[in-house]
Structure 1
Amino acid sequence: MESHEQLKQKINELEEEIRLYKRFVEHISFPFSYVDYELGKVIKKERNIPSATIETIEKEEKRTPILQWNIDLQKDYPFEQVEQFLAPIFDLVSHHIVFVDAEGKITLCNLQAANDVGVNRDDMIGKHIRELLNIPDEQIMTLKTLRTKQPLYNCEVLDRYYGIINTRILYNEDGSIKRVISMFQSLNQIKEAEKLAIAGRIAAGIAHEIRNPLTTVRGYLQFLKEQLPEHIVTLIDQLLIPELDRANDIITDFLNVAKPSEVKAEWIGINEFIRHDLDLLLQSEALLHNVELSYHLDEKLQQYVVNIDKNQLLQVFINLFRNAIEAKTEKSLRVDIETKLHNNLVQIYVHDNGPGIPSTIIHHVFDPFFSTKSAGTGLGLSLSRKIIELHKGSMRVQSEFGNGSCFIIELPAYSKNEAAI
């Protein structure tokens, strides 16, 4: 038999366990109920009431216990932890999602927003939203919601971030604003898709109405050369046929812009591609035109690969390199190619120290047929960006007139383990 002291010790231990359970229940902020049919007891707890109540019910030994709870993420859970939980989910969304607090400081920013604006997402947390968007406060719709306490529904944004924005407000229990949530859907890609659709229809007409007659004319010129005087033959060989071929090349390039081509992609390391495949092509061009060529490659990319068609990507870099050469001024030309790993993307920067692009035309450089060169077709950059988009990437340009240009290519980065699956 147990001694009196042993029984007393067990009773004390049981009392301590009960106090522990009670304190644990007091710290649970959300309502719950637990029904134990074998014991014939129900424990219930309401929101904002520290203690729980215990009720007696009829025992049912074979019935499974039931636990139910009602968690309100705004009331029962630290919202900072909710944001940490939501962040990787929102990174999968193709729209911009940004949370700001009552002071307009960013508490959550998804990858799409950071990538499109060109910043590091982690650097933006805790900063004012104006530092993300770089536009005046009065143009920032999220701040408008913060000021007016009125959510926006499918509001059209007409500044440089063209699209549709929706905002919602989360309140604290005292009525103050906890968060303003904004979701922005960019319409730039839709606008570009509409342009390409129009270009496709035009290209189909051009191909049907012009290409066949050009081929016919070229064939007859070749046929007639044997019957014509020498000075006419010279004119045909040096002027007429080259001009017909140039017109045919323009049509071919335009069709490549308007119509998606097949991508024969393979997994490669971008640094290896630049060091071996690209450098082999560019060095001869650089030597021929007296261009200083340099590379700055992020070693962190050694553990990542991209899924690309080498030949198509080479065409993009050749177009960019030749554009830099054609814009060359009297000073010596320098072209720097740099790679970075940024927000699960491979970023490739192609810098040059040329004359740059005036701000009045920089937004049109990717438009089909837009060119500042007298002999240019205006299709090289448009075709280049289309190739990058076919690889699920993006391409943009930054330039300050008189201080060179920088074309930025972004492609999805995958770890070597991901690519092997």
Structure 2
Amino acid sequence: MNDRLVQSQIEELERKLRAYERLIEKLPFPFTFADYESGIAIEKKRGDVRPHLRTIPPSLEKEAKWQWDIDLHRDVPFEKVEAFLTPLLDLVPHHIVFVDAQGIITLCNLQAAVDTGVDRDAIIGKHIRELLKLPDELIATLESLEKGEPLYNYEVLDRFYGIVNTRFIYNDDGSIKRVISMFQSLNMMKETEKLAVAGRIAAGIAHEIRNPLTTVRGYLQLLKSDLPDRIASLVERLLIPELDRANDIITDFLNIAKPADVKMETFNLHRFLRDDVGVLLQSEALLHNVDVHFDLDDQLDDYEMNGDRSQLLQVFLNLFRNAVEAKVAKTMRVSICSRKINHLVQLRFCDDGPGIPPSVIDHVFDPFFSTKETGTGLGLSLSKKIVELHRGTMKVQSDAHGTCFLIEFPLCSQPPFLSS
């Protein structure tokens, strides 16, 4: 009976020993383990399958010593490295994308996904052209991959205006394992320069034109009663309204350069869209034969947003009036959607109008740019500025089937820090 028990214990110890041996064989990195209590050291060198055991002299050391040499490139599957790096690279405000030798995306940081309008998880495993929506010959990463040469401060002049740098990670045989691309957008710098110019122009307009306009309007109003009826009517119906219109243009332009103070409050996003925006647009919609439809994400039903309701209302009113002015069919459908995407609240204002021509779509947010004969070209510029003051972004997508304006805000409960 005792012999069988001893034999069973020996077999159990042998199974454990074989399991430990297989574990050590599977460890991909070199190490040394010195167990002073047993007087045995286990050493495994890089490339070895089985470890080497040797006897070590007695020592006063009580605790075992463990040393290892992990090479992330050789000893760890690179997919694990990318999974570790992803949350760190999400903190970088530039676009960082990893592709393999076939141009397939293996890592895409959050900034790249947000700026290109894709779902970051869905784009992994797709070709980089599906992220950038550009022909292969215009993608700097693929150019770098094809030539086998990294890019240093390569200037990109397409719709993604900025600087690209690429670096390679190689396999042991010298082939390319990954191309790491970092894109630094200069669009914000370009926008800042535009706003600086706009501010200087606006200040000049305010001083040089507004005061004379006010003076002229005052004298016309004063002299109107002394003029013949025909001329007085002309002053009342044409001259004074035109002066008021010019003054309104100056006011809008000044708001782009230096918007009014933002009056912060907290409100439920969906109630704001249904009750405030919906009521505001409904009366306009009836007048212009427009059907307004809301498609709101259930995930955001309880979302409390921080912002200036009146200024955000102005954004939606500007977008609606733009859509109506472009309407060519008898009826038009406008949809307002909300979605929770990654760490963002996305609002989409879409119409089924004729769309914006590709030749002008990059300029729709420029001050004074308008395709309408009576337009001032300030509505969209002012709307974009209001959204940016709420720490959001505003973009446009358009084709022959209609136009969509995408407004995105960070998904957070804290109010943004706004400056006047």
TM-score range, shorter chain: 0.7 to 0.9
User: Residue by residue, what CA displacement relative to the aligned partner does 1:177-213 show, whole Å, maximum 9, x if unpaired?
Assistant: 2111111122222212211111111111112222223
Deviates more, 1:362-371 or 1:253-262: 253-262
Aligned length: 414
CA contact (8 A) 2:288 2:324 kept: yes
**Shift, 1:10, TM fit:** 5.9
Mind listing any 5+ residue stretches in structure 2 that lack a counterpart?
416-420
Partners of 1:73 and 1:303 in 2: how far apart?
Answer: 44
- Flag the 1:97–1:303 CA change in 2: closer, same or farther, 3 A: farther
Partners of 2:350 and 2:13 in 1: how far apart?
Answer: 74
Partners of 1:18 and 1:357 in 2: how far apart?
Answer: 72
In the other structure, the counterpart of 1:86 is 85
In the other structure, the counterpart of 2:183 is 184
CA contact (8 A) 1:104 1:129 kept: yes
In the other structure, the counterpart of 1:411 is 409
**Shift, 1:260, TM fit:** 4.5
Partners of 1:57 and 1:383 in 2: how far apart?
Answer: 80
- Letter of the structure 2 residue corresponding to residue 354 of structure 1: G
Aligned ranges for residues 1-40 of structure 1 at < 5 Å?
Answer: 17-34=16-33
In the other structure, the counterpart of 1:148 is 147
In the other structure, the counterpart of 1:56 is 56
- Letter of the structure 2 residue corresponding to residue 113 of structure 1: A
CA contact (8 A) 2:336 2:350 kept: yes
Mind listing any 5+ residue stretches in structure 1 that lack a counterpart?
none
**Shift, 1:221, TM fit:** 3.4
- Letter of the structure 2 residue corresponding to residue 59 of structure 1: S
Secondary structure at the residue paired with 1:150?
coil
Secondary structure at the residue paired with 1:116?
helix
Secondary structure at the residue paired with 1:74?
helix
**Shift, 1:165, TM fit:** 0.9
Partners of 1:306 and 1:60 in 2: how far apart?
Answer: 65
Partners of 2:4 and 2:327 in 1: how far apart?
Answer: 97
- Letter of the structure 1 residue corresponding to residue 107 of structure 2: L
CA contact (8 A) 2:36 2:56 kept: no
- Flag the 1:223–1:391 CA change in 2: closer, same or farther, 3 A: same
- Flag the 1:103–1:312 CA change in 2: closer, same or farther, 3 A: same
**Shift, 1:138, TM fit:** 1.8
User: Residue by residue, what CA displacement relative to the aligned partner does 1:75-104 show, whole Å, maximum 9, x if unpaired?
Assistant: 111111222222222223222221111222
CA contact (8 A) 2:155 2:163 kept: yes
- Flag the 1:268–1:48 CA change in 2: closer, same or farther, 3 A: farther
Partners of 2:266 and 2:176 in 1: how far apart?
Answer: 48
**Shift, 1:391, TM fit:** 1.7
Secondary structure at the residue paired with 2:75?
coil
- Letter of the structure 2 residue corresponding to residue 74 of structure 1: H
- Flag the 1:268–1:94 CA change in 2: closer, same or farther, 3 A: farther
- Flag the 1:52–1:281 CA change in 2: closer, same or farther, 3 A: farther
CA contact (8 A) 2:289 2:330 kept: no
CA contact (8 A) 1:211 1:251 kept: yes
Partners of 1:177 and 1:312 in 2: how far apart?
Answer: 51
**Shift, 1:43, TM fit:** 4.7
Partners of 2:403 and 2:203 in 1: how far apart?
Answer: 34
- Flag the 1:46–1:306 CA change in 2: closer, same or farther, 3 A: farther
- Flag the 1:61–1:333 CA change in 2: closer, same or farther, 3 A: closer
